[in-house]
Each structure stands twice: as C-alpha cells, then as structure tokens.
Homo-oligomer: A and B are copies of this chain.
Amino acid sequence: MSIPENTKRRLVLLNRLLSTFEGKTITSQKIEELAGWSAAVVRRDISLLGIICGASNGYKVDELKSKLEITLNLAAKNQKCCIVGLGKTGQSLLDSTELEDSPFNIVAGFDSNVNRTEVLRSVFPLHPTTKLCEVIMEEKIRYAILTVNHDEAQSLTNTLCECGIKGIVNYTQCVLTVPRNVKVKNVSLLTALETLCAGAIADDC
C-alpha cells in the first residue's frame, strides 16, 4: 500500500518533531497540540506505516522514528547534493552547518562566473557550470540547490534534468519546467510570502 502525498509531507515533519522526544512515548493528542494536525489524521498517518507501536499508551517514539526514517528514505546516508549558483544565496550555503548530521551532503558548487568558482573557498570543490553534467554524473549527485539568476534558471534546469538529477530545491522565482521524473520544491522567499498571503498553506510543508 503506497503512502499518500499529504501523509508523506506530514511524516517528514513528524520525524523532525520526534527528535525532541527520543526514548519517550507520545500520544496523537500531544502531536496535535504541537503540529496542528488533528489526532485522527496523526493516527491514520502512522497506521499507514504498517507498524503497531502505540497500543493504548501512546507511541513509542524510538520505534516510530526508525520506521519513519526507513519509509521516508532518510535512512540512506550521504545522499549527494550540489549548489548551482554562487551569488549571495548560494554563498550563504557554502559553509552552512544546516546539513550536518543529515543524510544529505553537498559535494560540489557551480557558477557560470569563473571568477567566483576560483575566488570563493569551501570544503567541497567549485566548478564552472560548463562542467555541470560531467561532475553530476561522475559523482552521482541526486539533488540540486538552484540559486542562480532568473535568466539562467530554466536553461540550467534543463541541463540538470538531462544529467539525471532527481530533485531541485528552487530558490529562484521561476516556475521551472521539468520532466515528470524530476521533482521541484519551490522555496523562494517571494513564493513563500505569496503563498502565506493567499492563505494557501498545506498543513505541512
């Protein structure tokens, strides 16, 4: 039985939420208070994982968490990512500690301005975008973090898709056109604000 999209989005956040409760138990009621999803939704979501780890005294967080990590693919370590575009946003990610202790690992950066790739320093190598395909295929990079200018966004996206990238975290304002096998997650500040403003927030991501 496959897990619905909505459920998956909540489970990603549930997994995060549970970090604070390791070794303990937690009830669906408590999760409702913390995350805002109804207790009924929480119970249904968890039941879709196909395990029984609650049974009348709240869920055992450790069991739940390890099942979540497997189901959500987060158990696989060292999933490779790259940054495409080393302007202000891209640079702020260069020495970010955000992905420490996560399954994700940034292993390359790219910019079409060779100056930047030569001057900037980081723990992973920086390349000109002409090498995009080569490096991605060689390193088997799965995810791209797109932080380029508007005018380069779609053409670089095309290249990324051609070299087999699985997903793109899109920090640009462009609505990217991608083949169906590539997933895009739009996270630009403008999109986020517009989404809030339009009252269009899914109760999750």
Smallest distance from the beta carbon of A25 to chain B beta carbons, Å? 18
- Asked if B98 and A177 make an inter-chain contact with CB atoms under 8 angstroms apart, the answer reads no
Given A175-B35, A196-B167, CB of A205 within 8 Å of CB of B191: yes
A52 interfacial by beta-carbon distance below 8 Å:
no
Q: Which of A71, A73, A99, A201 has the most CB of B within 10 A?
A: A201
A42 interfacial by beta-carbon distance below 8 Å:
no
- Asked if A205 and B188 make an inter-chain contact with CB atoms under 8 angstroms apart, the answer reads no
Question: Quick one: which of B8, B79, B103, B187 contacts A200, CB cutoff 8 A?
Answer: B8
Chain A interface residue number, banded: 35 or more
A26 interfacial by beta-carbon distance below 8 Å:
no
- Asked if B74 and A173 make an inter-chain contact with CB atoms under 8 angstroms apart, the answer reads no
Question: Quick one: which of B11, B35, B177, B192 contacts A187, CB cutoff 8 A?
Answer: B192
Scan residues 174-196 of chain A and give those whose CB is less than 8 A from a CB of chain B: 174-175, 177-178, 180, 183-196
Complex CA–CA separation, A194 to B71 (angstroms)? 12
B-contact bits for A46-88, CB 8 A (1 contact / 0 none): 0000000000000000000000000111100001010000001
Given A193-B102, A193-B169, A205-B195, CB of A36 within 8 Å of CB of B186: no
- Asked if A96 and B103 make an inter-chain contact with CB atoms under 8 angstroms apart, the answer reads no
Question: Quick one: which of B6, B178, B193, B198 contacts A11, CB cutoff 8 A?
Answer: B198
Complex CA–CA separation, A167 to B6 (angstroms)? 21
- Asked if B16 and A191 make an inter-chain contact with CB atoms under 8 angstroms apart, the answer reads yes
Given A143-B193, A196-B185, CB of A173 within 8 Å of CB of B16: yes
Q: Give A residues with C-beta under 8 Å from B.
A: 5-6, 8-9, 11-13, 15-17, 33-36, 71-74, 79, 81, 88-89, 91-93, 96, 98-99, 102-104, 143, 145, 166-169, 173-175, 177-178, 180, 183-202, 204-205
